[in-house]
DNA sequence: ATCCTCCCCTAC
DNA sequence: TAAGGTAGGGGAGGAT
């Protein structure tokens, strides 16, 4: 092992991770603080040397390959003398000026290119003004009509974006054609790239590059298209053909030129070789053998007197030496092999054999160092390393395995200092204690744990915010479509806030885009700490951390105070100067800063601030992507474009930085509202906006311009890139010998892909040049629901383990219900103590080093039907658990995840059927009926329990949940509580299937009894009431299907908070589409409801249609019915891939299975009437129960494919228009519950997906008008 | 090719 | 004391 130590080990301390040294180095800062503003420090340090925005990422060390880092050297010699020296070095080395300087100065390095881009950008922005609808005319009026008479189509991704080009075209007199359907009309096709197929397709057309447009505009006259013919050659160069890429490519070229291309290839031979080497040794090797004597001396630490003001240099010095030393004395030796463990320690004074990291479970490596902390004792490295790099599926994975050198541990010892936590070891001796404080305790343990878990809160909030944002956006859209609820109330929640401003709404169809887009990354500074300091002003300016341990006696000499394994959730910037970082253990933090102040968690406060924050963002942004409780990505392209218009008009001089101005405006709003500082980074893509935030922090904003990108990237550590963590950084270092983004940019894409896979490779390749095509995502629906606990898991008996599994299952079931979903696949995740790890982990009650296993199986209430039942889940989970055959006493972590979800956002309950409930076409299926009580769906007992449980203790604590928080209000959601009960109590009603001819029998049979009953009732109602129309708040909702009830409620809570207003009474009046066309006339076609039913037409809807549509529908329907039942099965092939493993009960799926294949039928329908009919059938089949998830997925997938092609676009539009119409005809778009809500949400969900695609293709949203 | 399972990794 | 959760991207390797 020793020999394996990589040469880099020479820098022992450093080799592994400079974090600690760095921290020490920076500890000096406080002394200088007075003169240096935090921002400056951050910038200086962060750029060249590293230090992520959150301090999370850290550069690895200076391996020989790494370019000399001033910090490193200074650190070692305590030379960190002064901030100045650091600055100086940086400047020399990295030309820091070029990027440290504010954007005002532009990039000195790439002036030529930068200027070009800037000019181009400015120009485009002007053009963009067209975006403003109201300004369109004005803008256009002032431009020469150079494109007059031309009909131009823009194909695929282009640079500039479609919207920009479109604006240019229209403003200059040309006609823009979104589709090519009427080829005859189009005179020119603009494309940056064409697929071979399109080349053929367009062979008779004039295909030009976007330059033709831009150059013509610049020239003020129409240039010859022949000079801009798109050559095949160009196309070939583009990999995936994304216009964006093209632009970025330019960027890249500029960058490369500057950077001077390095030998692109590492010798091919090298690569493979390296790879091998890596696998063989990887972390293990390097880690282990490092000599332990640190360059730094180990003299005793010197404590600062007052945390607040460390003194200058002297302090520095002392601090520097202090840290290491202290570790020594203390239990957590900093530089000495910490990991020795009890179990089998190794006593190598100088060299460590192998330290297996503990793996922190997750990720986050605690210290964020990227490398997981070491929990584990030494382990045989071979073994470990192998596992790391490659594992056979069947092999148990080592949980987060990672090797850590003692050195590493020393740097970030977290709780890796001991073989096992002495405290825990002692306490666990006492059976009584264990029974009361560990998983052995039962359900209470789970609840208590979650209530206190910050990470759990973080995750919960994130998902809640995602939903909130999605709902708010959907409402905005609806409003725009003419749905505007009267009462501001209506929940438009966010919309309400936003709209007033008028900013966000402008988006019309979101026309701006590509490289002109303006993305902002907004993030609170030291969120948890900041929130707590609002009420503790006396702590401002001091090193403060948030953690559970409110450790007393901080000054307690080297005692417990520094052995706390409590994690620091957030550290103030003052604390960071000492090297304290989020995720670090309190003990470590105290070693770095003995007087650090600790404050407790205040989850509810975080939630409140977060809601205020998001509300403000919604008011400024066109689009929002929730990233975290304290962080969000927003698209403010339109807002900026709008702002630019005004000023421009009056002056022609240089334009102020509107982006920066907007960022500051947002910061001001948040500050006024919460009293906290947020920082905002802005740029034209997500990746860069995030990087900009690093420079912006703390309490600032930074607009990263294209010309400054290369300079900034070059000096970053690879793991400063979002998405790059310890693992990738290590592999990068060991395989390629690189640590900086600048070096990464020199790597051939093939090399990266070989090492990290096709996708990651490309991602890294692009990221290295500032390219990021990712779009803001605000419509994605979740794919899994899970619950896991990897803390305090200690069982004495199998019974305890079983009980825990069942309790955990209950928790998962509860969560499923909360989001109104059910799943068909479950995965059990198990963490088992690594054989070589000590019984008690280093971290108090932690999982320590573990092997991790996971196994999945289909679940479902009978026949593979999706389920959310705790008992079913619990049963399956326990079965899986037993199948592992582990000794319960060795378990350290358990998790249950449910996938293949159905149901959805507030939507209706996923019904029980395992397959698509609705058949697009009905099949005369030999129905069979069994009517037993719906076992799968209803379980009286368990359900009852769950409900009550939920009410009492929602997750962590209802108070903390974003969802609730507000007092019950409004009528609607309230009923929820009672509803569930009803359902539950529902004794399996034995019903008769009414004779609804319009519903597929098989479908009905598949429905749970309760839902079936409702379906029945609904039909009866529809029959008698020809015009159900406006969703009367009353009836339909009241009887919303069972379980659904509950979840919507929670969701609403959250929405309410954002938007205090909700419109109580959805005015039955506004329907958009048809209203616009004509005042929904009241029927007058002669046909009876019975007849309609036979035609599978919903009478209620039918009667609401205008005459022509009625006729159209009738005709279409008749035609469809005449069609052979073909569509039904043609695609039997994929109809439903049933779950393969039986494990669950009997299933009589086949029959239903074949039924549903909406996309199949749809794909064949080409006439509008036929398409509408298909959609309607599907809709009607589930009109009362809500859409079935699987159907939704299929249709969504199908439509997405449609909008990806010009030809399919039309079909997709027809489908969506009709779907929307069907919904509008019977429910208010804001209906709060029942099937209406489910359908609306389903519609919005799919619409969102399509908009995402359309946005990429054309920069706007799919218009259904 | 594409899917599926079992992980790994990352982020907050 | 301490509360190391969770969703989703992605990859390896086997099955289809
Ligand atoms: N390992 C971590 C990281 C973060 N958080 C929590 C506390 C943080 O306050 C919040 C936000 O995380 P950030 O990464 O945004 O960190 P901060 O907001 O604390 O600091 P900053 O954003 O200024 O770097 O998430 C946590 O509990 N544990
Ligand atoms: Mg933050």
- In this predicted structure, what is the pLDDT of residue A731? 96
The answer on pLDDT for A521 being more than 60 is yes
- In this predicted structure, what is the pLDDT of residue A162? 61
- In this predicted structure, what is the pLDDT of residue A131? 25
State which H helix or E strand residue A232 sits in: helix A232-237
**Closest residue, by C-alpha, to the C1' of B12:** A628
The answer on pLDDT for A1048 being more than 60 is no
CA A189 to chain centre: 36
The answer on pLDDT for A223 being more than 60 is yes
Region label for A705, one of left (φ > 0), alpha (ψ between -120 and 50) or beta (otherwise):
beta
With cut-offs at 50, 70 and 90, classify the pLDDT of residue A513.
Answer: low
Query: Do A898 and A823 meet the contact criterion of CB atoms below 8 Å apart?
Result: yes
Q: Does domain A1163-1258 have CATH number 1.20.58.1280?
A: yes
Bridge partner residues of A896 (DSSP): A787, A828
Q: In this structure, is the CB of residue A101 within 7 Å of any atom belonging to strand C? A: no
Return the sign of the alpha-carbon dihedral for residues A459, A460, A466, A469: negative
- In this predicted structure, what is the pLDDT of residue A431? 84
Query: Do A890 and A774 meet the contact criterion of CB atoms below 8 Å apart?
Result: no
Task: Specify the residue with its C-alpha closest to ligand 1, atom 10.
Answer: A527
State which H helix or E strand residue A971 sits in: helix A971-985
Q: In this structure, is the CB of residue A567 within 7 Å of any atom belonging to strand C? A: yes
Assigned fold of A114-235: Rossmann fold (3.40.50)
Nucleotide nearest A1140 (Cα, C1'): B4
Helix/strand number for chain A, H first, E second: 53, 17
- Weakest mean pLDDT among A751-765, A1157-1171, A1216-1230: A1157-1171
Tokens of A570: 């957030």
The answer on pLDDT for A281 being more than 50 is no
**A670-696 pLDDT per residue, tens:** 999 999 999 999 999 999 999 999 999
- In this predicted structure, what is the pLDDT of residue A69? 26
The answer on pLDDT for A872 being more than 80 is yes
In this structure, the number of other CB atoms found within 10 A of the CB of residue A496 comes to 27
CA A108 to chain centre: 36
Tokens of A788: 């896991």
Calculate ∠ Cα A417-A422-A427, nearest 5°: 150
CATH classification (class only), A710-779: mainly alpha
Atom of ligand 1 nearest to the CA of A571: 19
In this structure, the number of other CB atoms found within 10 A of the CB of residue A541 comes to 14
**A54-110 pLDDT per residue, tens:** 233 333 222 222 222 222 222 222 221 221 122 122 222 222 212 111 111 111 111
Pairing between β-strand A891-903 and β-strand A784-789 as defined by DSSP bridges: antiparallel
Ligand nearest to the CA of A570: 1
Ligand nearest to the CA of A55: 1
A850 CA – C13 C1', rounded, Å: 23
**Which residues are CB-neighbours of A215 under 8 A, at least 6 positions away?**
A223, A228
Q: What does pLDDT average to over chain A?
A: 58
A23 CA – C3 C1', rounded, Å: 27
- In this predicted structure, what is the pLDDT of residue A1205? 67
**A1201-1212 pLDDT per residue, tens:** 777 666 677 778
Sequence-distant contacts of A745-753: CB under 8 A, at least 24 apart:
A745/A252, A745/A255, A745/A256, A745/A259, A745/A713, A745/A714, A745/A769, A746/A259, A746/A261, A746/A262, A746/A263, A746/A264, A747/A264, A747/A266, A748/A264, A748/A265, A751/A265, A751/A266, A751/A271
- In this predicted structure, what is the pLDDT of residue A544? 97
**A57-66 pLDDT per residue, tens:** 333 222 222 2
- Between A790 and A234, the more confident residue is A790
In this structure, the number of other CB atoms found within 10 A of the CB of residue A1008 comes to 27
Query: Probe ligand 1: pick from A630, A680, A701, max atoms within 8 Å of CB?
Result: A630
Return the sign of the alpha-carbon dihedral for residues A575, A580, A582, A586: negative
The answer on pLDDT for A386 being more than 70 is no
**A722-750 pLDDT per residue, tens:** 999 999 999 999 999 999 999 999 999 99
* Closest CA relative to residue A491, chosen from A969, A1077, A62: A969
Atom of ligand 1 nearest to the CA of A366: 1
Helix A971-985 with A940-952: angle, nearest 10 deg: 150
- Weakest mean pLDDT among A29-33, A500-504, A510-514, A1246-1250: A29-33
Window A812-871, strand C contacts by Cβ < 7 Å: 815, 841-848
Average pLDDT (A704-722) is 96
With cut-offs at 50, 70 and 90, classify the pLDDT of residue A1046.
Answer: very low
* Closest CA relative to residue A201, chosen from A1207, A1203, A1163: A1207
* Closest CA relative to residue A763, chosen from A818, A698, A685, A692: A685
Window A1204-1233, strand C contacts by Cβ < 7 Å: none
In DSSP notation, A1183-1237 reads TTT---HHHHHHHHHHHHHHHTSHHHHHHHHHHHHHHHHHHHHHS-TT--SHHHH
Ligand 1 surroundings by CB, under 6 angstroms? A 53-54, 364, 454, 458, 523-528, 569-570, 582-583, 630-631, 697-698
Which nucleotides in chain C have some atom under 7 angstroms from a protein Cβ?
1-14
**Which residues are CB-neighbours of A1137 under 8 A, at least 6 positions away?**
none
* Closest CA relative to residue A160, chosen from A195, A121, A199, A132: A121
For a pLDDT cut of 90, what percent of chain A falls above it? 29
Q: Does domain A516-552+562-646+656-704 have CATH number 3.30.70.270?
A: yes
> How far is it, in rounded angstroms, from Cα A473 to Cα A779?
9
**A309-327 pLDDT per residue, tens:** 222 222 222 222 222 222 2
The answer on pLDDT for A1007 being more than 50 is no
Which residues have their alpha-adjacent CB atom under 5 A from ion ligand 2? A 523-524, 527, 630
For a pLDDT cut of 70, what percent of chain A falls above it? 44
**A152-174 pLDDT per residue, tens:** 766 655 566 666 777 777 788 87
- In this predicted structure, what is the pLDDT of residue A205? 58
The answer on pLDDT for A1034 being more than 80 is no
Q: Is A1028 helix (H, G, I), strand (E, B) or coil?
A: coil
A728 CA – C10 C1', rounded, Å: 13
Q: What is the ipTM of this complex?
A: 0.98
A375 CA – B7 C1', rounded, Å: 20
Query: Do A542 and A33 meet the contact criterion of CB atoms below 8 Å apart?
Result: no
Domain residue limits, chain A: 114-235, 516-552+562-646+656-704, 710-779, 781-902, 1163-1258
The answer on pLDDT for A608 being more than 70 is yes
- The two domains A516-552+562-646+656-704 and A781-902 share their CATH topology (first three levels equal): no
Which nucleotides in chain B have some atom under 7 angstroms from a protein Cβ?
3-12
- Between A16 and A209, the more confident residue is A209
Average pLDDT (A397-421) is 41
- Between A118 and A517, the more confident residue is A517
Q: Is A900 helix (H, G, I), strand (E, B) or coil?
A: strand
Average pLDDT (A239-268) is 22
Q: In this structure, is the CB of residue A455 within 7 Å of any atom belonging to strand C? A: yes
**Which residues are CB-neighbours of A91 under 8 A, at least 6 positions away?**
A97, A100
Tokens of A164: 């920009």
In this structure, the number of other CB atoms found within 10 A of the CB of residue A500 comes to 12
Bridge partner residues of A635 (DSSP): A519, A623
- In this predicted structure, what is the pLDDT of residue A885? 95
Sheet of strand A701-703, all strands in order from the earlier edge strand to the far edge: A623-628, A631-635, A519-524, A678-683, A701-703
> How far is it, in rounded angstroms, from Cα A689 to Cα A668?
19
**A780-794 pLDDT per residue, tens:** 989 999 999 999 999
- Residues A781-902: name the CATH superfamily: DNA polymerase, Y-family, little finger domain (3.30.1490.100)
Ligand nearest to the CA of A46: 1
Pairing between β-strand A597-599 and β-strand A544-546 as defined by DSSP bridges: parallel
The answer on pLDDT for A387 being more than 80 is no
A762 CA – C13 C1', rounded, Å: 21
């Amino acid at each position: 092992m020793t020999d394996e130590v990589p040469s880099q080990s020479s820098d022992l301390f450093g080799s592994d991770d400079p974090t600690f040294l760095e921290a020490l180095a920076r500890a000096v800062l406080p002394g200088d603080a007075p003169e240096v503003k935090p921002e400056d420090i951050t910038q200086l340090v962060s750029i060249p040397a590293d230090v992520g925005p959150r301090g999370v990422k850290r550069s690895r060390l200076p391996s020989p390959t790494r370019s000399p880092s001033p910090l490193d050297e200074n650190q070692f010699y305590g030379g960190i003398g002064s901030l100045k020296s650091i600055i100086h070095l940086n400047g020399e080395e990295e030309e820091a000026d070029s990027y440290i300087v504010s954007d005002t100065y532009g990039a000195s390095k790439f002036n030529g290119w930068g200027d070009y881009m800037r000019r181009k950008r400015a120009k485009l922005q002007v053009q963009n003004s067209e975006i403003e609808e109201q300004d369109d005319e004005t803008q256009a009026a002032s431009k020469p009509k150079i494109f007059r008479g031309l009909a131009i189509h823009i194909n695929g991704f282009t640079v500039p974006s479609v919207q920009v080009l479109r604006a240019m075209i229209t403003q200059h007199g040309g006609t823009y054609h979104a589709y090519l359907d009427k080829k005859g009309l189009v005179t020119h096709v603009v494309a940056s790239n064409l697929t071979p197929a399109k080349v053929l397709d367009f062979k008779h057309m004039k295909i030009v590059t976007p330059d033709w447009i831009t150059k013509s505009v610049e020239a003020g006259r129409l240039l010859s298209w022949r000079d801009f013919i798109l050559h095949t050659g160009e196309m070939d160069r583009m990999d995936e053909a994304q216009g964006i890429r093209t632009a970025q490519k330019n960027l890249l070229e500029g960058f490369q030129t500057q950077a001077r291309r390095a030998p692109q290839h590492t010798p091919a031979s090298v690569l493979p070789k390296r790879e091998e080497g890596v696998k063989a040794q990887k972390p293990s090797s390097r880690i282990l053998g490092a000599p332990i004597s640190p360059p730094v001396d180990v003299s005793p630490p010197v404590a600062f007197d007052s945390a607040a003001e460390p003194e200058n240099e002297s302090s520095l010095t002392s601090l520097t030496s202090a840290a290491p030393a202290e570790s020594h004395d203390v239990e957590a030796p900093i530089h000495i092999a910490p990991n020795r463990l009890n179990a089998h320690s190794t006593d190598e004074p100088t060299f460590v054999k192998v330290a297996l990291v503990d793996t922190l479970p997750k990720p986050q490596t605690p210290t964020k160092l990227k490398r997981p902390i070491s929990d584990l004792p030494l382990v045989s490295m071979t073994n470990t390393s192998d596992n790391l790099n490659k594992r056979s599926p069947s092999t148990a994975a080592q949980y987060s395995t990672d090797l850590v050198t003692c050195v590493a541990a020393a740097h970030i010892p977290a709780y890796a200092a001991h073989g096992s936590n002495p405290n825990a070891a002692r306490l666990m001796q006492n059976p009584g204690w264990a029974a009361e404080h560990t998983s052995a305790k039962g359900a209470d343990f789970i609840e208590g744990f979650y209530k206190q878990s910050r990470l759990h809160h973080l995750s919960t909030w994130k998902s809640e915010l995602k939903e909130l944002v999605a709902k708010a956006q959907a409402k905005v859209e609806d409003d725009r479509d003419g749905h505007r609820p009267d009462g501001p109330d209506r929940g438009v929640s966010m919309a309400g806030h936003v709209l007033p401003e008028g900013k966000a709404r402008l988006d019309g169809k979101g026309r701006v885009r590509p490289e002109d887009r303006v993305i902002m990354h907004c993030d609170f500074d030291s969120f948890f700490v900041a929130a707590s300091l609002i009420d503790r002003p006396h702590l401002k300016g001091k090193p403060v951390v948030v953690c559970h341990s409110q450790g007393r006696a901080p000054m307690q000499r080297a005692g417990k105070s520094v052995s706390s394994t409590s994690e620091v959730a957030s550290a103030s910037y003052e604390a960071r100067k000492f090297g304290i970082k989020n995720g670090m253990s309190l003990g470590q933090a105290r070693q770095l800063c003995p007087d650090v102040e600790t404050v407790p968690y205040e989850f509810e406060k975080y939630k409140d601030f977060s809601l205020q924050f998001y509300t403000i963002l919604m008011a400024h942004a066109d689009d929002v992507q929730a990233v975290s409780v304290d962080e969000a990505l927003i698209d403010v392209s339109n807002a900026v474009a709008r702002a630019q218009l005004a000023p421009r008009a009056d002056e022609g001089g240089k334009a102020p930085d509107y982006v920066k101005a907007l960022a500051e405006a947002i910061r001001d709003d948040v500050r006024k509202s919460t009293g906290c500082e947020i920082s905002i980074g802005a740029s034209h893509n997500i990746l860069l906006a995030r990087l900009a935030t690093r420079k912006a922090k703390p309490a600032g904003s930074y607009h990263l311009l294209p010309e400054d990108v290369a300079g900034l990237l070059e000096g970053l550590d690879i793991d400063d890139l979002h998405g790059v963590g310890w693992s990738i950084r290590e592999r990068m270092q060991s395989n390629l010998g690189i640590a900086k983004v600048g070096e990464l940019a020199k790597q051939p894409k093939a090399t990266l892909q070989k090492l990290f896979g096709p996708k990651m490779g490309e991602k890294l390749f692009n990221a290295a040049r500032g390219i990021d095509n990712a779009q803001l995502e605000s419509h994605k629906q979740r794919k899994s629901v899970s619950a896991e606990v990897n803390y305090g898991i200690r069982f004495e008996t199998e019974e305890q383990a079983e009980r825990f599994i069942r309790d955990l299952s209950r928790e998962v079931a509860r969560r499923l219900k909360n989001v109104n979903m059910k799943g068909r696949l479950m995965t059990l995740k198990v963490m088992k103590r690594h054989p070589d790890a000590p019984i008690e982990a280093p971290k108090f009650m932690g999982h320590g080093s573990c092997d991790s296993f996971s196994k999945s199986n289909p679940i479902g209430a009978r026949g593979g039907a999706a389920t959310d039942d705790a008992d079913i889940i619990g049963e399956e989970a326990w079965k899986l658990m037993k199948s592992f055959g582990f000794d319960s006493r060795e378990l350290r972590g358990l998790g249950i995840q449910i996938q293949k979800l159905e149901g959805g956002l507030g939507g209706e309950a996923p019904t029980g059927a395992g397959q698509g409930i609705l058949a697009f076409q009905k099949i005369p299926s030999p129905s069979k009926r069994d009517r037993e009580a719906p076992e799968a769906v209803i379980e009286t007992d368990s359900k009852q329990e769950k409900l009550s449980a939920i009410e009492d203790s929602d997750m962590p604590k209802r108070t903390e949940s974003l969802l609730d928080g507000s007092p019950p209000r409004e009528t609607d959601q309230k009923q929820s509580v009672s509803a569930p009960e009803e359902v539950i109590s529902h004794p399996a009603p034995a019903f008769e299937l009414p004779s609804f001819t319009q519903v597929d029998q098989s479908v009905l049979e598949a429905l749970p009894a309760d839902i079936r009953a409702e379906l029945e009732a609904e039909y009866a109602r529809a029959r008698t009431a020809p015009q159900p129309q406006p969703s009367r708040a009353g009836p339909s909702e009241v009887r919303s299907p069972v379980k659904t009830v509950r979840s919507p409620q929670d969701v609403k809570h959250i929405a309410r908070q954002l938007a205090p207003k909700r419109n109580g009474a959805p005015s039955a009046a506004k329907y958009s589409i048809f209203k616009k066309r004509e005042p929904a006339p009241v029927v007058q076609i002669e046909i009876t409801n019975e007849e309609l039913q036979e035609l599978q037409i919903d009478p209620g809807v039918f009667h609401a249609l205008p005459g022509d549509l009625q006729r159209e529908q009738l005709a279409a329907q008749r035609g469809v019915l005449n069609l052979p039942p073909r569509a039904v099965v043609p695609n039997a092939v994929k109809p439903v891939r049933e779950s393969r493993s039986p494990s669950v009960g009997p299933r009589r799926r086949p029959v239903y299975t074949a039924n549903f294949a909406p996309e199949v039928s749809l794909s064949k329908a080409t006439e509008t009437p036929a398409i509408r009919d298909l959609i309607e059938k599907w809709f009607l089949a589930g009109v009362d129960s809500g859409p079935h998830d699987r159907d939704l997925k299929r249709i969504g997938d199908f439509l997405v494919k449609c909008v990806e092609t010009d030809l399919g676009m039309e079909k997709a539009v027809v489908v969506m228009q009709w779907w929307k119409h069907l919904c509008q005809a019977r429910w208010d778009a804001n209906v709060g519950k029942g099937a209406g809500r489910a359908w609306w949400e389903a519609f919005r969900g799919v619409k969102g997906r399509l908009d995402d695609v359309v946005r990429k293709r054309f920069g706007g949203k799919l218009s259904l008008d």
